[in-house]
Amino acid sequence: MSVKVLLLPSLFKNLSVADFLMSLYLFVIAGHDVAFRGEYIRHDVSWRHSWQCTFAGMLSTLSSEASIFIMTIITADRYLSIVYPLMLRRRNMIFAGTCIAASWTSAAIIAIVPSFNLGYFGDEYYGNNGVCLPLQIHDPFGKGWQYSLAVFCGLNSAAFGFIVYAYVVMFITISRSKLGLRSSQQQQDRTIAKRFAFIVITDLMCWVPIIAIKFMAISGNWIYSFIKYLNRMIQKVEI
């Protein structure tokens, strides 16, 4: 069985596992929402400092980061298949397995490190809010905010930037290639790329607002002042 036949199913299975972890996170949050319904304020502090909240936060971070890393690998694989098809011969399952293992290891490290209760993170990195997400929107400069910013805005933005760039190049390459000159394998690669693009678009629709809100929370009053100043300048031009 060829490397190509084994590679994509393996990547998609790992992507499914990453998404399944997010469903476990939602199950934990939903369960405690039912348990605390009508009296959450009495349990707020104890819940946010509990190991269950930390565990839920770790699950969400592990899921989101592993998903993004694996999508980046899939995109890179499609990119090479379509833009540089001659490089396919250089791939092997050992390299693919190493990339997958590195993705899970990196995501696990990113998720676990804040749970060590170091002085930098304090004891509320995951317990910063009731849903245990380390986005720190309402308290943008809480303990560990640089770490949160680097992961959710820096790292994730870079990954999605590459994914968008790769798909733009892929679809340009597809549009320029003549249908009659395509091999059956190349046509299959293009079909898979188009289908996977739908997954990428849905993920972008989820992450772009989160990243934008995170940046706005960090910027604080600066954005408000800038928009207000820009609005005044536009009004003067119109007058």
- Residue 180 is predicted with a pLDDT of 45
Average pLDDT over residues 221-238: 51
Q: Which residues contact 72 (CB under 8 A, 6 or more apart)?
A: 159, 162, 163
One-letter amino acid identity for 65?
Answer: E
Decide: 81 and 54 in contact? Cβ < 8 Å: no
User: Smallest Cα–Cα separation from 4: which of 104, 105, 118, 87?
Assistant: 87
Place of tokens 């910063």: 128
Whether the per-residue pLDDT at 222 is higher than 60: the answer is no
Local confidence band at 230 (pLDDT 50, 70, 90 cut-offs): low
pLDDT band at 84 (very low <50, low <70, confident <90, very high): confident
The single residue listed with the structure tokens 């990954």 is: 159
The answer to whether 123 and 117 have CB atoms below 8 angstroms apart is: yes
> With bands split at pLDDT 50, 70 and 90, how would you rate the model's confidence at 237?
very low
Closest residue by Cα to residue 100 from 222, 13, 217: 13
**pLDDT at site 184:** 59
Evaluate if residue 11 carries a pLDDT over 80.
yes
H helices of the chain, in order, are: 3-36, 40-48, 51-83, 93-112, 145-149, 156-176, 184-219, 221-238
In one-letter notation, the amino acid at residue 210 is I
